[in-house]
Every structure is written in C-alpha cells, then in structure tokens.
Amino acid sequence: MKKMVALITVVIITSMVALGGCSTASAASDMHKAYETKTIKIKPTKVTREKTDSDHKVLLKVEVTVKNKSKEQQSIGLGNFSLKDPNHKQNLIYGMKEDSLGHTMAPGQELKGNIYFEIPVDLEEGWMSYIPEPGHDKAAEWLIVFPKD
C-alpha cells in the first residue's frame, strides 16, 4: 500500500512539473514593471492591438507612464524605444498617431503616452527596449506579451 501511495505521489508531482512548462507566456510578462534611475522612471501599463488596412499587420499600442525625476527638463519620445520579436527582428515604430509619446518634461513632471509598433498579426510577444540616446545601448528592456484579438 505504501508503494502505491508513493507511486501515485510521484505521478502527480511529475504531471504538475510537466504541465508547468505549458503555462502561457503572459506569466513571464514584464508589464507594470518600472525601470527607474535617478533621473527617470518608465512603466508600461497597458497593451492593446489596433487593426490596420493590412491582413498581415496590426498596430501594437503600449501605454506607458513616464516621470522626470531630475532637476532639469528631459525629452522622451518614440525614438527612445524599439521592439524586437523573439527572433530579434526589429518591428517598425508607428508615429502617425496624435497621442504618440513625444514630450519635453519639466522637472518632477509625470505623463502618460503611447508607443505604437507595426507588428505581424500573429506575433504574440516581443522585447521592448528603452534607449536613452540614439546610438547608445539599451538601458531597460521589458518582455511584453500581446493580447489576442
């Protein structure tokens, strides 16, 4: 009887471990995780998809909250961000929306803005990076899991 209980326990534990590998990618998402330095704080807060005229592409809208923690003005905009798929292919920034992020912030100012990327309709996740200045290395990176339509 003890051997049977031990066998059942092993089977249950093995099943739980195996099924744990089948969890959705959203469990690993970095949404709502803030990147913070002495001068800036950036936090993605919401992701949505918007249809386009193409059957192959959609617009990914990433809403972010940004706070200028410095004592000087800072500029932040679409050019400070990039999005790569799991194969490291960079997706295009889409800057034709009026509510796109692109502001000069006063010291202490906090604002909300949107970053748009044109992505393949079947893409499920990607890595969004923050690059403080063009030509420099990324300072922060978030795994963003995209909502389904």
pLDDT, one tens digit per residue, over 1-21 is 554 444 444 434 444 333 333
Residue 149 confidence class, pLDDT cut points 50, 70, 90: low
Residue 133 confidence class, pLDDT cut points 50, 70, 90: confident
Question: pTM of the entire structure?
Answer: 0.78
Return d(Cα 126, Cα 140) in angstroms, integer.
14
pLDDT, one tens digit per residue, over 74-86 is 999 999 999 999 9
* CB contact at 8 A, 39 and 76: no
